[in-house]
Structure 1
Amino acid sequence: MIESVFAFGQGALGYIVPFLLVLTVVIFFHELGHFLVARWCGVRVLAFSLGFGPEIIGFNDRHGTRWRLALIPLGGYVKFYGDENAASAPDRDKLASMAARDREVSFYGQSVGKRAAIVAAGPIANFILAIVIFAMTFWLLGRPVTEARVDAVQPNSAAERAGFQPNDVIVSINGGHIESFSDMQRIVSISAEQQLRFEVRRGEQTIPLTAVPELQEKKDSFGQVHRVGILGITRSADASQVKHQSYNIGQAFVAATEETWFVVERTLGYIGGVVTGREKADQLSGPIRIAQVSGQAAQIGIDVVINLAAVLSISIGLLNLFPIPLLDGGHLLYYAIEALRGRPLSDRTQEFGFRIGIALVLSLMLFATWNDIIHLTTL
C-alpha cells in the first residue's frame, strides 16, 4: 500500500513539476511585457506577482515594486498605481482625490493609447517568446526534412480518388510552395472536407490534382485525440530519404515566425470549427491535461518541453486577446470604445462587463477541466 502511494506521488510530481516550470516561464514573460511597457510609459508598478494568494517570498526593487512569488501558481499579475485590484480595475475614489503628479504615474492617468499598449504588451510578449524559442531550436538543432514524395496510396482514400500515384512529388498546395512532407501534412491536417489544389511532379511533368481530405480522429504521441484531415498517402520510412536542414540565425527567425503563425492559424481554425459545429469541443484542454502532456514531454526530452513552452505561450497570448472583459482583449475592447466615444464607458457598464467576463472564464475553465477528467477516465 505504501509503495503504491509512493509510486503515485512520484508520478504526480513527474507531471506537476514540468507543468509548473513551463507555466511559470510563460506567465513570467507575459507579465514582463506588461511591466516593461508600463515602465517605459512612466507608470508606477506596485507589484509583480507570479501566482495568486499569500506571498511565499518577495522583495522590493529600487523603484518600489514588490516582486513576489505567491502560493497559487496558476497565473500572475502586475498591479499598477491607481488599480483597485489585480485585474486592473480602477480605484475611482483614489483617482478622484489623487494629486496631479500622482495621477501622471497612475495607469488610468495615461492616454488611451498608452493604456492599450501596456495591455497588449502581455500577449505580444508571449508571441515573441514563442518565436525566440522556435528560432533558437531551429538555429541550434535544425530539423529533419523529408521530401513530399508519395510512397504509397491507400485504397479508397481521398488521394486515390484524386488520382495520386506512387513516386509523385507534391510541389505546391493552393499555390503555396511545399518543401517537405511535413509541410504537406500540416496543410492537409487543417483542411478536412475542404477542396485543395495540388501540383505534383510526375516524372518530367507537373500535373494538377484536386483532393478533399477526409475528417478522421487520430492520436498523437501523447495520447491526445485530434480530428484532422487525412489524404491517404504514406511516405517512405527509409532513413536515407530524411535530410537534416540547418538554418542561419535569420532563416531560423523566419521559420520560427511561420511556425508561430501556423499554431495561431490552427488554433483559430479549431475554435471556428467548434463554433460552426465542424469540430468537437472535447479537445479543449485544462490544467490537468496540460500537466499530463508536460510530464510526458519531460520524459521524451528537454527539447520537447521547450517546444511545448512555445506552444503554450502562443495559446496563452491568443487566449488573452479574446475580447472578453477581465482578459487583456476585454480591456482593449473597452479602450477601443473609449477612443471612438471620446470618453470611457461608465463604471457600472464596465463592472457589468467584468462580471460577464468572470462567468465566461470560469465556465471555460470548468468545461476544460471536465474534458480533462473525461480524458483521464478513458485512458
Structure 2
Amino acid sequence: MIDFIGSIPVIGGPLVSVLPFLIIITIVVFVHEYGHYIIGRFCGIHAEVFSVGMGPKIYSWQDKRGTLWQIAAIPLGGYVKFLGDANVSSFKSEPIEKNNSFNNASLKSKTLTVLAGPIANFLLSFLIFTSLLLWHGKPSNKPIIGNIHTAFSNGYDIKTDDIIISINDRKISNFSDIYSFMYQDTSEQFAKYVLERKGKQINSIGPFPSVAIVGSVMPVSPASSAGLKSGDLITSFNNVSITSFKQLQKLIIASNSKKQNINVLRGGEIISLSITPMLREFQNANGDLEQKVSIGVSSSLAISPSIEAVSLFEALKIGIQKTYLVIIQSIKQISKIITGEVGFENLQGPVGIAHVSSDIAKSDISYFIPLIAIISTSIGFLNLLPIPILDGG
C-alpha cells in the first residue's frame, strides 16, 4: 500500500512522508481527547466542542447534549473545549456560574477529567498490544521451523514444521540455542541439520543460521535513508562478500563513517544501494550509553520460529507488561535528558515522530500498528508532566 502511494506522480513522495504521521497523531490525540470528554461528561461537565483536527471546521453536527462535534481543516491533533474554557488548552475564561462548567466542577471531577486523557492513551496501547498478541500469537521457543527466508526456501530439504535436533553437531534443545549462532563470525554459508519430520529423523544441508538478513530497520537511520527493508539479505558491503552478520558489523565499524556500496537480495533480485554508516549512541546491556558506528539494522535468522497462540489471560498480562515498559523507558529517557546524560534533541517532537512513522511505514508496515501503541503511551506519559503546553492538541 505504501509503495503504491509512493508511486503516485508528484504527490506520492510527500504523502508517504506525511500520511503515516497524520494517521498516528489523529488516532492518538482523538483517544486522548475522548478520554477527557467521556469522563468529563460522566462528572457532569459540559463539553461545548469536540474537534478532530485544528483550524477552520469543514463539517460539524450537534448531539442531543449540545456538544458540537466537528472535523477541522488541519489534520493535526484535536481538542475538547469544556464550558468555561477560554481556549483549546483549557485555560480559564471569565467566571461562569453554571454548575456544569469546568471551572465550577469539584476538585475530584477536575482531577478525574484531566487524568482521563493520559489513561485513555495507556488503555489504547494496552488494547493494541493485547489484540496483536491474540491475532498473531507469539514466537515459540520450541525448536520448530516456522518460516524459511525466501532466499533459502528452495534447494534445501528443510521444511516448515520440521523439528531441529542439531545444527553442525550442536544439540538444539530450544530455539534460543539457534540464536547463539548469530555471534559467530564465519565464512560458512551452509550447515548440517538433523531434523525430525513426521516421526522420522532426516539428515540435511541447510543455510547457516547467521547469514546477514535484515531483521528490522531503525527509523531515521542510514539504513532507512538508503532504502534497506526488513527481510533483505545483504550479499556484499564495500565490494566484500558478506557471509555472516558478525562480519558485516566489523566492516561497518571499519568504514569510518564513509559512504559505502551495499548489495542486497530482495525478491530474487540483487539491488545496489549506497549507505553512509554513522556514529550513534546505543544503550548496552548495563543500561549505559555507548557510541559505535552502525547503519541502524538488527539481524534475523535464515529460519524463524513457529508461532504459537496465546491465551486471553497471557495476552492481557503481556499487554500490561509492554505498556508498562514503554512508560519506564519514557521515564528513563526524560531523566537522562534532565541530568544531561543525553541531549534535549533526543526528545522527539512532531517532526521526529513524522520521520519515525514515515520510515517505519516504508521499511516494514507490520511495525506501524505497534508504533501507534508506543507513541500513545509516550504522549500519555508526557501529558502527566506539569507542562500545560503539552495538552490541548
TM-score by length of 1: 0.60
1:138 matched to 2:133? The reply is yes
Deviations 1:91-136 (A, max 9, x none): 23x42xx2xxx2x211111111110100000010000000000100
Shift of 1:312: 1.2
Could you say which structure has the higher strand fraction? Answer: 2
**Structure 2 partner of 1:10:** 12
For residue 109 of structure 1, give the secondary structure of its aligned residue in structure 2: coil
Shift of 1:300: 4.7
Matching of residues 3-152 of structure 1 within 5 Å = 7=9, 9-92=11-94, 94-95=95-96, 98=97, 102=98, 104-145=99-140, 147-149=175-177, 150-151=180-181
Shift of 1:295: 2.8
Q: Which of the numbers 340, 362, 383 marks the counterpart of 1:277?
A: 340
CA distance in 1, matches of 2:120, 2:34: 8
Q: Which of the numbers 237, 241, 261 marks the counterpart of 2:301?
A: 237
Shift of 1:270: 1.8
Deviations 1:161-214 (A, max 9, x none): xxxxxxxxxxxxxxxxxxxxxxxxxxxx755555xxxxxxxxxxxxxxxxx895
For residue 388 of structure 2, give the secondary structure of its aligned residue in structure 1: coil
1:292 matched to 2:355? The reply is yes
Shift of 1:308: 1.2
CA distance in 1, matches of 2:361, 2:182: 34
CA distance in 1, matches of 2:135, 2:104: 45
Gaps of 5+ in 2: 1-6, 142-174, 186-281
Which residue type is aligned with residue 37 of structure 1? I
Distance 1:315 1:62, change over 3 A: same
For residue 48 of structure 1, give the secondary structure of its aligned residue in structure 2: strand
Deviations 1:271-315 (A, max 9, x none): 222222332443333333322332333345553221111111111
User: Is the 8 Å Cα contact of residues 283 and 290 (structure 2) preserved in structure 1?
Assistant: no
Q: Which of the numbers 317, 322, 343 marks the counterpart of 1:259?
A: 322
Gaps of 5+ in 1: 156-188, 195-211, 223-233, 332-360, 362-379
Q: Which moved more, 1:76-85 or 1:133-142?
A: 76-85
Q: Which moved more, 1:314-323 or 1:25-34?
A: 314-323
User: Is the 8 Å Cα contact of residues 192 and 213 (structure 1) preserved in structure 2?
Assistant: no
CA distance in 1, matches of 2:322, 2:295: 21
For residue 17 of structure 1, give the secondary structure of its aligned residue in structure 2: helix
Which residue type is aligned with residue 56 of structure 1? I
Which residue type is aligned with residue 112 of structure 1? L
CA distance in 1, matches of 2:290, 2:88: 46
Which residue type is aligned with residue 135 of structure 1? T
Shift of 1:221: 4.8
1:311 matched to 2:313? The reply is no
CA distance in 2, matches of 1:108, 1:45: 12
**Percent identity of paired positions between Structure 1 and Structure 2:** 35
CA distance in 2, matches of 1:302, 1:317: 24
CA distance in 2, matches of 1:50, 1:254: 32
CA distance in 2, matches of 1:112, 1:219: 51
Give me the CA root mean square deviation.
3.1
Shift of 1:266: 1.5
Shift of 1:8: 5.2
CA distance in 1, matches of 2:289, 2:16: 38
**Structure 2 partner of 1:325:** 388
CA distance in 1, matches of 2:109, 2:321: 29
CA distance in 2, matches of 1:61, 1:221: 50
Shift of 1:245: 3.6
User: Is the 8 Å Cα contact of residues 89 and 388 (structure 2) preserved in structure 1?
Assistant: no
TM-score by length of 2: 0.58
User: Is the 8 Å Cα contact of residues 190 and 266 (structure 1) preserved in structure 2?
Assistant: no
Shift of 1:39: 0.7
Distance 1:267 1:119, change over 3 A: same
Which residue type is aligned with residue 141 of structure 1? H
Shift of 1:144: 2.4
For residue 367 of structure 2, give the secondary structure of its aligned residue in structure 1: helix
User: Is the 8 Å Cα contact of residues 61 and 69 (structure 2) preserved in structure 1?
Assistant: yes
CA distance in 1, matches of 2:183, 2:359: 33
CA distance in 1, matches of 2:17, 2:289: 35
Which residue type is aligned with residue 56 of structure 2? P
